[in-house]
Chains A and B, each alone.
Chain A
Amino acid sequence: MSDIKVALSGQPNCGKSTIFNMVSGIDQHIANYPGVTVDKKTGHFKYADHKIEMVDLPGTYSFSSYSLEERVAKEFIIDESPDVIVDVVDASNIKRNLYLTFQLLEIGIPVVVVLNMMDVAERRGIDIDSAKISEMLGCKVIEASGAKGIGGEEIMKAIVDTAKAKKNYEDFKIHYEELEPHIKAIEDKISDTSLSLNKRWMAIKVLEGDVTILSHLEKEFPDIKDAADHEINKFHSLYDKDTVAFLATFRYDSADIIYHKAIVEKNAGKETLTDKADKIVLNRWLALPILFAIMFLVYQLSIVGGYKLTDYTWPLLAAVKNFVLDISPAPYLTDVPMITDFALWMINSANALMNYIPIFFILFALIAIMEDIGYMPRMAFILDRLFRKFGLHGQSTLPLVLGGAFVGGCAVPGVMATKGIADDRARMATILTVPYMNCLAKVPFYTLLLGAFFVSSMSLMMLYISTVTIFTALIASKILTSTFLNTRETAPFLMELPPYHAPTFKGVILSATQRVWVYIYKVLTIVLAVAVVLFAMLQFPGINKDTKIQYDKELEKALVVFDKKVKKSKYHGQVDTKDEIADLLNYYDSYRAKRMATTSKGGAASIDEKYKTKNADFFNFIKPRKDKEAKKVNRALRKLAKSRNRILRNMKNEKVENSLLGMAGKSVEPLTKYAGFDWKINVAFLSSFAARESAVATLGSLYENNQADSQRAEEAMAQNSGYTPLHAVAIIIFMLLTPPCIATMIVVKMQTNSYRWMFFAIFFPVFLGVAISSLVFILGSKYDWGGVEAMSYFYFSVVAIALALGFYPSKKKNWTGGLRADINK
């Protein structure tokens, strides 16, 4: 009948999300809290005619205002005033959890306490008298186990019952003894506030110096801060006590009273399973090997295994592409309708990103498993000392590995995995350095260049390329944290190492699906929008009329050759008009595309059948078998198709050169020439921004030799570009430092919640890339370095700088004052 709004609160690691998933099912909605990047999950369900809306607040240890999560949670309580707060308490760690419970009770909104993980508590020999706790706190206390699916009904019932009895709710009050007069003084001051919140709670928060509450009250009482300071100082001078510490101590003492009255620990002091496991996992000698093994496994399963899976999913995407091509207007010889070109471009852009979904799904599932188990904070514990030296955090490990700390990863999940890093500066530094890792799509680009210029020293170069990234990332992070990010908020490193828990299948799948969906929904839509812009930049102004006539002549020539050959066949009558030839070419192309998308024998047979019924005569030309006359047509057709493709490719290259993007590539040539880049490389880099894959495609087509069609792209590039290996090294260095693709930019925007940082993430690496590749190229040209030589110098300089920064003690001057400099003079 009536709607009930519920806020779900609890400390981190209390199993809040398993309770949320159990109660709200899969009817969940994820958004962000306004203005911040904290996830806001909302679930809807019905119970006894009541519609219940449940909002999952971020997990917080306390309700002060020092962390972003706490501010967000408090803002929600203030702005939305929920009817009931459900407080999830970890039954196996009840004392510290009750500390938050007391703070929630004080808010003045009815609370339902859920004792979660009762099964774990039982296993550990912890006896909990929940009726006693309920009596002592004056609220409903429900025993549950989210992981085992126990207690869902009871929680819903308790919510409804508590909401119904709201009128009979008596405010919960802790008697703070000597602080009471000061609370009263503030309460009196704000007695005529228009805020509908509990006044006593606000008064207590004011005495805690809570910025959220203070800023709300300041609108009505401009001098509230002075009044607060006055009371705080008075309390300090009377009792030599600090209000913040006093309140915290009082709450812990209250939790202690409940702990002693309602809980019996039979196995207190005994070693738990987690303690035993940590003796191995966090062992001084075993911890690092185990961590590397786990990272390697994650990498193998997701990036390598997921890549193999794309062999099976790619035909699906190819089928979509073929379908779109089928319904687009067909080309007429060398006249390809723009709408067809456009459809192909869009579908290629989408497919390039969709292709990664299997990888992402496995990756996100594995991350969810590691989060559920509790390995993430342990990883941070093991590596914190190393990363801290570079302004990063122990929790930066995973994002960097996903970004491609080995051979190739992807910055998108890497940046998305930075969400949990508590320290804002380290989190920002991680977001901005993950794109320096080697993304999977860069690998074919390196392979192309290495194949063209470094055939004999390919493995050494690949080793350089794949290991230099972590050092560049560390240097970049050190530079960023001591300059641009210097003023960002840092958080104290107090990190809980929670007991190990088995992950739930439902939770893992839900989490992975939700994150993949975010990727599809947010990234793909924007990438497609950018793809439209890029398409226009590549299309206009197009090729001029004179050259078009030139290409038409070439086509005529090819048609004449075709006709001459086909004349000898008895089927000449079927292919002696332009229309017929155009149809045949389209038929041939579409057959080949479909055939390539299938791998099974049965699939091939059914395609053959389909094309036979479509046009039996044409099919005879494509698959002549023993028909000698048809074979003649077949040979001529293949030659004609090749000629036509060559003409189309040349037209495309000319179009690119004349296009807006081509002009852009040419216009930055004066700047990039110091690094040895000509406009072709510039265009490849510009187009690679849409998706890395297209860099290889663009370069490949720009350098393809017009005469010898069988030449591989590597050979073509080595012969036709006029580059030396030094050029190639400059290009590789730029690619190593180059800005992330659009997809990454969008997640950077999502995670930093700022376009400024997004643009910074683009231009800083570009600047760095141009500067360093120019330096190497200029020095290399001057001293006549070979390619491998130049790369070695680059590599060892980077490693040396990183090590120097790491060993250089990061001592900070943390005092101020003394004689002022101007007086000293």
Chain B
Amino acid sequence: MVHHGEHGKKRHGKGQKHKRLDMIEEGGKVKILNIYTSGKLMQKLLDMGFIIGSEIIVVREAPLRDPMELKIHNYNISLRKSEAALIEVEEV
């Protein structure tokens, strides 16, 4: 279900169905396919509801373009793009 280790950027280039969360534009609606991390960050993501299959709406970017605001499980959370890049999603 969850893979540890390095995630290759090659696998999700532009135009493909699978994307990284940080590439999704404002208003985009996506579903989590995979999370490529472990340890503390993984635990925190799980605790905040980043479970495989959960739906996310990208609400906005901060005025300085990073971090981003997301809606998940009907509440709002902000996430830095560096961390969003570890989440693989597909648009729904």
Contact = CB atoms under 8 A, between A and B. Distances in A.
Interface stretch (A299-307, A380-388, A515-523): A380-388
A1 interface: no
A61 interface: yes
Given A244-B43, A377-B78, A492-B41, A61 B65 contact: no
Contacts of A274: 76
Given A244-B42, A384-B62, A386-B64, A61 B48 contact: yes
Interface residues of A, number: 44
A207 to B, nearest CB: 13
Contacts of A494: 44-45, 48, 77-79, 83
| Interface residue range, chain B | 35 or more
Given A93-B74, A381-B67, A64 B62 contact: no
B46 A244 contact: yes
B69 A282 contact: yes
B62 A493 contact: no
Given A288-B63, A494-B79, A495-B78, A241 B49 contact: no
Contacts of B76: 274, 278, 496-498
Contacts of B47: 61-62, 64, 99, 248
Interface in B30-86: 40-49, 51-52, 54, 59-67, 69, 73-80, 83
Contacts of B54: 252
B50 to A, nearest CB: 8
A93 B75 contact: yes
B10 to A, nearest CB: 17
Contact of A245 (B42, B66, B79): B42
B20 to A, nearest CB: 17
A385 B67 CA distance: 7
B23 interface: no
A382 B68 CA distance: 10
B92 interface: no
Nearest to A256: B73
A282 B79 contact: no
Nearest to A265: B74
Nearest to B79: A494
Contact of B69 (A265, A288, A381): A381
Given A381-B69, A385-B65, A496-B78, 20 more contacts: A66-B43, A95-B73, A96-B48, A99-B49, A240-B1, A241-B2, A245-B51, A283-B63, A284-B63, A288-B63, A384-B62, A384-B64, A385-B64, A385-B66, A388-B80, A492-B44, A493-B67, A493-B83, A494-B83, A496-B76
For the complex of A and B, the 7 pairs showing the least CB-CB separation, nearest first, are A248-B46, A62-B47, A385-B64, A497-B76, A287-B63, A492-B41, A385-B66
12 contacts: A62-B47, A95-B73, A96-B75, A248-B43, A248-B46, A248-B47, A248-B51, A284-B60, A287-B63, A380-B78, A385-B64, A498-B75
Interface of A: 61-62, 64, 66, 93, 95-96, 99, 240-242, 244-246, 248-249, 252, 265, 268, 274, 278, 282-285, 287-288, 377, 380-386, 388, 491-498
